[in-house]
Amino acid sequence: MKTRIRSTKLLAMAMAVGMMATGWAIWGARPAAAIIIVNTKTGMFTLAPGQAARSHVVNTGEVGIIINGGKVVGSDGATLAEFPERRLEPGQAASFEFAPRLAAGELLPARVELRVEGASSGTTPFIPTLEVFDTATGRTSAGQDFIIIVNT
């Protein structure tokens, strides 16, 4: 009788561990990518069908800043989208989204540029970030976890 109880417990534990491992593999399977931001310009990133890009700006300074707009620029230098002007008080954040409609198999290389006023010389009182996400699920492909901020 003891052998039967032990084997049932062992089987149940093995199944639980297997289900957790499967869930972890499915949920965590995504490529790690980096989007490098130098001051207010991002490096190139590529959007595929069903993906969009969202840019965030956080004012970490002690005075208000003005985002004099921004734009998404294609690899050929053409403006693909523009963001409106926004004023951010200390501690506030703003987000701008770009969701192109791409045909199956089409890829769109792009980069984001933000124009910010209110930064003192030598300091950067704001943090720009960018994430690429799947529009159907909302899961991030590349985002804050992988962003490298470079101040020059």
pLDDT(100) > 50: yes
- pLDDT per residue over 9-62, tens digit each? 767 676 766 666 655 555 544 443 455 566 556 778 888 899 998 888 888 888
- pLDDT per residue over 73-84, tens digit each? 898 989 999 988
In a shared domain, residues 54 and 127:
yes
The CATH number linked to 108 is 2.60.40
In a shared domain, residues 96 and 146:
yes
In a shared domain, residues 83 and 109:
yes
**pLDDT at residue 81 in the model:** 92
Instruction: Report the length, in residues, of the chain.
Output: 152
How large a percentage of the chain has pLDDT more than 70?
Answer: 62
Cα–Cα–Cα angle for 151, 78, 110, rounded to 5 degrees: 50
Question: Which residues is 67 bridged to in the sheet?
Answer: 86, 116
In a shared domain, residues 48 and 85:
yes
pLDDT(6) > 90: no
Question: What is the Cα–Cα distance from 37 to 92, expressed in whole angstroms?
Answer: 20
Question: What is the Cα–Cα distance from 96 to 66, expressed in whole angstroms?
Answer: 14
In a shared domain, residues 131 and 92:
yes
Question: What is the Cα–Cα distance from 127 to 31, expressed in whole angstroms?
Answer: 24
**pLDDT at residue 9 in the model:** 73
Q: Are 58 and 93 in contact (CB under 8 A)?
A: yes
9: containing domain:
1-30
In a shared domain, residues 10 and 51:
no
pLDDT(93) > 70: yes
Report the number of distinct structural domains present in the chain. 2
In a shared domain, residues 97 and 124:
yes
**pLDDT at residue 31 in the model:** 41
State the amino acid at position 63 in one-letter form: V
In a shared domain, residues 136 and 116:
yes
Per the model's pLDDT, the better-predicted residue between 17 and 117 turns out to be 117
In a shared domain, residues 108 and 127:
yes
